Amino acid sequence: MKKSGFVFTLITVCFVSAAVTLAILGYAAKTARLRVASQYTVPDYVRYISDGYAFDTVSSKKNFLITVTDGELPVRVHIFTVDEDKNTLDVLELPPDTYVIADGYYGTLRDAFPTSVYKQIISRVLCLRIDGSASFDAKTFGDMAQLLEVNIKLPKTVYRESNIEVTSEVGEKIALDGFCYSGGDKEAVRLYRTLLAEIFSELGERGSLESFSLLMNLVVNRFDTDMTVENMIDAVNSVKDVKLRKINIRLAVGSPAKFGENRVWSLDPEGMAELLNANFRVKGVEYPAESLSIPAVTAGEFPYDELPERVTDILE
């Protein structure tokens, strides 16, 4: 069967099934952030939103924030950027303990998640417009891997056998290890990226109808999103021509650092500016390092230079 890449990937299935369900029920899906908004004191940077701030250049690229949680807080954070002209998908991995600042907010992405402005904080830090967001827990991630019958080679520290079909429990365990980045665990970082790449591959192999049938129940009942039906349909259209070989998984440039008593992931302003300008912005639009809302935290060199980024290379 011919691979059709990301058209049948997780985000497509999510958006299609959610759109159908929302149309039937007659309401937009709820976002987890809104549940706790009443408990949160809004900081100064809300004025950016009220003043219409956005990094909204004329663009054929669309950015989606996808978060995997432990049930309450993030363990994996991603930006999915689709280029509708080049038919590419770039996935940016942001460690959940990434330390950021955003005009009044100082803390990690994990701590920012329960606030009503989590998405805006990430948008401000990266100088990227975010067109929609969705979140689900690690158990759901593991259930997806099992339903898709994903097979990957696992280290003995995870499972006794070296090459197995991923069960829900194994997939959940891999996703939950979100502090592997700042912990310097290269094998765990590589393992999660391999599992994510295999999920993309399986979705492409199966096609939209089979994937929809397999994952519909999970998406309908376990996903939170701020997207309307129209947004979801538009998102599906934006990824319909992306091929598997044109999907890349890129890790936010930075390194482990100590901040007070905590260990965090410290972003490298220059490295992030280069990464974002080259892969997550349209041609001719660039933001210098000083424009990014990245704090100065003493850190070292990026420890994951050797990781492959193209999904087809990750799967080799």
Q: What is the DSSP letter of 69?
A: E
Separation of first and last alpha carbons in the chain: 19
Tokens 């260990």 -> residue: 263
- Point out which residues pair with 90 in neighbouring strands: 81, 248
Phi, psi of 311 (to 5 degrees): -55, -40
**How many whole angstroms separate alpha carbon 56 and alpha carbon 285?**
11
**How many whole angstroms separate alpha carbon 13 and alpha carbon 214?**
10
Residue 68's CB: how many other CB atoms inside 10 A? 24
Range 84-95 average pLDDT: 93
* Residue 232 structure tokens: 């979801």
Q: Are 251 and 304 in contact (CB under 8 A)?
A: yes
Instruction: Output the pLDDT for position 209.
Output: 67
Per residue in 32-82, pLDDT tens? 333 333 334 444 444 444 444 445 544 578 999 999 999 999 999 999 999
Instruction: Output the pLDDT for position 97.
Output: 96
* Residue 220 structure tokens: 């309908």
* Residue 295 structure tokens: 């704090």
pTM of the model: 0.81
Instruction: Output the pLDDT for position 211.
Output: 74
Strand 105-108 relative to strand 99-102, pairing: antiparallel
Per residue in 151-168, pLDDT tens? 887 766 555 555 567 899
| Burial of residue 183, with CB atoms counted within 10 A of its CB: 0-12 exposed, 13-18 middle, 19 or more buried | middle
Q: Are 282 and 56 in contact (CB under 8 A)?
A: no
User: Helix or strand or coil: residue 98?
Assistant: strand
Phi, psi of 284 (to 5 degrees): 95, -10
Instruction: Output the pLDDT for position 169.
Output: 94
CA distances from 64 to 13, 51, 161, 186, 239 (A): 14, 22, 36, 26, 12
Strand 224-225 relative to strand 132-137, pairing: antiparallel
Tokens 């002209």 -> residue: 85
Instruction: Choose the weakest-confidence range: 81-85, 137-141, 177-181, 192-196.
Output: 81-85
- Point out which residues pair with 126 in neighbouring strands: none
**Degrees to nearest 5, angle at CA 299 with 296 and 300:** 140
